[in-house]
Amino acid sequence: MQEDHIPKKSRGQHWLQDESTLEEICRTANILPTDTILEIGPGLGTLTKLLVQKAQSVVAVEVEDRLAAELLTRVKADNLRVVNEDILQFDFTKLAPGYKLVANIPYYLTSNLIRTLSESTNSPQTATLLVQKEVAERLAATPGKMSLLSVTAQFYWQVELGQKVPAKLFIPPPKVDSQIVFLQSRTRPLFPEVDSKKYFQIVRAGYSQKRKTLLNSLSGGLAIPKEEIIAILETAKIMPSARAQTLSLEDWYRLYRSAK
């Protein structure tokens, strides 16, 4: 590997060159010949080479100048467009509606990316992500192990866990294994007539002090007296002593309705 292309630890870069895993990512993404694919962080283009063969067009967003500049020489394809930009600053409205996202993303980017995609006016139809195994498990968590990331992902997407990918298949090997996650955008809102901003205002308040009870975290996070919070929780049929990670999305919805 050339000196200039040594993966940067600061960006969480780990090159994946295992052909069978790359093919599995594409299979999970269910790429059709008519699809527009958004790839995040193409790096050396190992996945990009497969994507351009399977899709109608591929938009590869790479934040590093050198990697972006060299991608078009590494992957010679008329249906590839390279954008040298931070994905969190990218304008998703420039893509054709119904596009699909495919990406091998570092740990530090996951939460911000999920939120950005979810709140975009032109979010992808599906997102196939290769992430750290523990992040994959957080995305698909059930009540008892829920987090703000879990609630956000499952509010906007149907989450399915895919193939596990051993750390040894990456260069350099990360400290933990990875896993493919498939996100299918919900065609209808999970809950009718919900104001997502107010819903997540309550959820964020609940997770603001994860080690405390909902009574304390909601009171502090929403700046509402505990007496009022007790009444809201009772109406929602949730114990004041419960903790945020034990609540389901339906529980948060009942809290949202009760708070209104």
* Domain CATH number, residue 212: 1.10.8.100
Q: In this predicted model, what pLDDT tens digit does every residue of 28-83 receive, in sequence order?
A: 999 999 999 999 999 999 999 999 999 999 999 999 999 999 999 999 999 999 99
> Any idea of the CA torsion for 168, 170, 175, 176, to the nearest 10 degrees?
-80
Spell out the alpha helix ranges (H) of the chain: 19-29, 46-54, 65-74, 110-119, 133-139, 148-156, 196-207, 214-222, 226-235, 249-259
Is residue 243 domain-shared with residue 142, that is, in the same domain?
A: no
* pLDDT tens-place string over residues 165-210: 999 998 888 889 999 999 999 989 999 899 999 999 999 999 999 8
Q: Does residue 244 fall inside a structural domain?
A: yes
Q: Are residues 36 and 163 in the same domain?
A: yes
Cα–Cα–Cα angle for 10, 12, 16, nearest 5°? Answer: 140
Out of 140, 160, 185, pick the residue that ends a domain: 185
Question: Which of 159, 185, 211 is at the close of a domain?
Answer: 185
For residue 2, what pLDDT is reported?
41
| The predicted structure's pLDDT at residue 11 | 47
pLDDT band at 17 (very low <50, low <70, confident <90, very high): confident
User: What's the confidence (pLDDT) of residue 192?
Assistant: 86
User: Could you give the CA distance from residue 183 to residue 123 in angstroms, rounded to a whole number?
Assistant: 11
CATH number, domain of 78, equals: 3.40.50.150
* pLDDT score for 103: 93
